[in-house]
Structure 1
């Protein structure tokens, strides 16, 4: 991971709601945070307090049914990062963004990745290879894998990279647990999500001026043989697993009622996983998902 810190400008979302069980009475008190970061009070005789909390919005480009070339998605991310930096420079509020997609088969390396973890000649790779600015070692992306690229202004959340990484892991852990009864977990000292010693999801990020990009990849039903060409994430002695392979195991077991889980086909499995991941992303980061059309990206196509 690389962190570039510059002058921080506070941006206040402009979408308030009342957080209270009942409707506001005719007389009430509000504490409102202005754009100048000053708190003002509006009081009435009853002095009943209501807190106005921001609704953080996240634009979502859900293209999970498409196999997007890695270079295209990478260009979109960098363009939106620059767009957000410019907005912050002008003290404008910028909402978060999220890409959800699949990639065509590709290997990507992090900033400091070592080629010793490649089981092929870099001059004659089985698939395209990209060295990126994210953290982490080499990984594989391809069909059957849900990739999520959150582009978030951490000023509006928590300016803490450990918190951010753990939150991305939490999104995956919740989605797999609630939807498939998969006991996904973290492994101490490692980034990603696991079931036993099988890695189900990889995470690699870049943060520039507190704007995040790159993200996470969840193995739903990819061709796992493509991982044999690399040492995934540079971890020797670990396996790579998938949601599909685990569900197939569960159907032969009566543990925790897993044998009664539905048996979706590959397309349905991707659909179910995608919806669950987006829902848990919304819950963990407390954002409202607004789906955008591709026209928002037309001017940024490569």
Structure 2
């Protein structure tokens, strides 16, 4: 099942409130509701989610894509045999690459695809063309929606909710959804892109949040097929905010890009676990710990 994540209007579902915050959370474009999901109202222990945390490494896109598909196949086998299996979260950065969704149009490429500045992959996810590269945190949740809600619109809104909470709670950045589009916006700047695929209700692909990303490669495409709007990053937005804008300056102590990535990564995992009501269990990486993954610090020295 392919979901092209654009051009639809939805009503916002309710999500569990943040557990700990030093200021109230303001749900953006959210329909108030006293009904949280069933798990949050029960005494049931949160479901387990195995987390492969490669955020300090640049992982080749093709390698991560193949890895996701292998995990999806394994989960589908377990489901067919009525065996329970934990959800999975992969978090990483990629070498510079352009990716297109299943139905993406090459008209959104501002270059000859035969002479592309970086590798180009056409994938089975929804959405149009986007860019991945250093300084961008990519989260690939591979979860069985049968254990959450069998509703792809709800799932997309939940991924958006994760990013909105990160920006609000950690960086004092007021982000929002944009009617008719998928992703997370601050003003007219898109800071997070989302594109997914679900196979027998098992999800893969996911979201990409620009933290310290060099935005120049986005100039070679029409990001997500949306013209006349910009792409932004957390680092750029923090630098732009002034008291006259009405935004509260975030008290985020960081001295370099790597520290800002560290802060954003910790917040992403925390908010993901709360929105999806999952207990995170970190696991070692048996198959990607190879010469093909490049520590980000090596590229910045």
Q: TM-score, normalised by structure 2?
A: 0.80
Q: Give CA-to-partner distance per residue, 1:9-38, whole Å, 9 cap, x none.
A: xxxxxxxxxxxxxxxxxxxxxxxxxxxxxx
Shift of 1:296: 6.6
SS at match of 2:165: helix
Question: 1:54-203 counterparts in 2 under 5 A?
Answer: 54-203=45-194
Structure 2 counterpart of 1:215:
206
Pair 120,249 (structure 1): closer, same or farther in 2 beyond 3 Å: same
Matches of 1:259 and 1:164 in 2, distance apart?
A: 29
**Structure 1 pair 287–218 and aligned structure 2 pair: CA distance change class (3 A):** same
Q: For the residues of structure 1 that align with 2:240 and 2:167, how far apart are their CA atoms?
A: 15
Shift of 1:256: 4.5
Q: Which runs of 5+ in 2 are unaligned?
A: 4-40, 294-301
CA distance in 1, matches of 2:289, 2:190: 35
- For the 8 Å contact 2:192–2:210, the answer to whether it is kept is yes
Name the structure 1 match of 2:264. Answer: 273
Q: Which moved more, 1:151-160 or 1:51-60?
A: 51-60
The count of residues paired between Structure 1 and Structure 2 equals 255
Q: CA deviation at 1:259?
A: 6.5
Q: Where does structure 1 lack aligned partners over 5 or more consecutive residues?
A: 4-49
Q: Is 1:81–1:151's contact at 8 Å kept on the other side of the alignment? A: yes
Contact map agreement 2:171 2:251 (CA 8 A) in 1: no
The Cα of 1:255 is off from its aligned counterpart by: 3.9
Q: CA deviation at 1:264?
A: 3.6
Q: Secondary structure at the match of 1:116?
A: helix
Displacement of 1:257 in angstroms is 3.9
Aligned to 1:25: none
Answer 1 or 2: higher relative contact order, Cα 8 Å, separation at least 6. Answer: 2
In structure 2, distance between residues paired with 1:225 and 1:59: 34
SS at match of 2:212: coil
- The whole-number CA distance in structure 1 between the counterparts of 2:101 and 2:245 is 41
Please list, as runs of the form range in 1=range in 2, the aligned pairs for 1:28-43 lying within 5 A after superposition: none
State the distance in 2 between where 1:260 and 1:106 align: 33
Shift of 1:297: 6.1
Residue number among 227, 237, 252 corresponding to 1:236 in the alignment: 227
The change in CA–CA distance for 1:92 and 1:57 in structure 2 (over 3 A counts) is same
Cα deviation, 1:86-138, whole Å, max 9, x if unaligned, reads 00010000110000000000000000000000000000000000000000000
Whole-angstrom CA distance in 1 between matches of 2:244 and 2:255? 17
Who is 2:2 aligned against? 2
SS at match of 2:249: helix
Q: Give, in angstroms, the shift of residue 250 of structure 1.
A: 2.2
SS in 1 for 2:110: coil
Which of structures 1 and 2 has the bigger CA Rg? 1
Q: CA deviation at 1:55?
A: 2.3
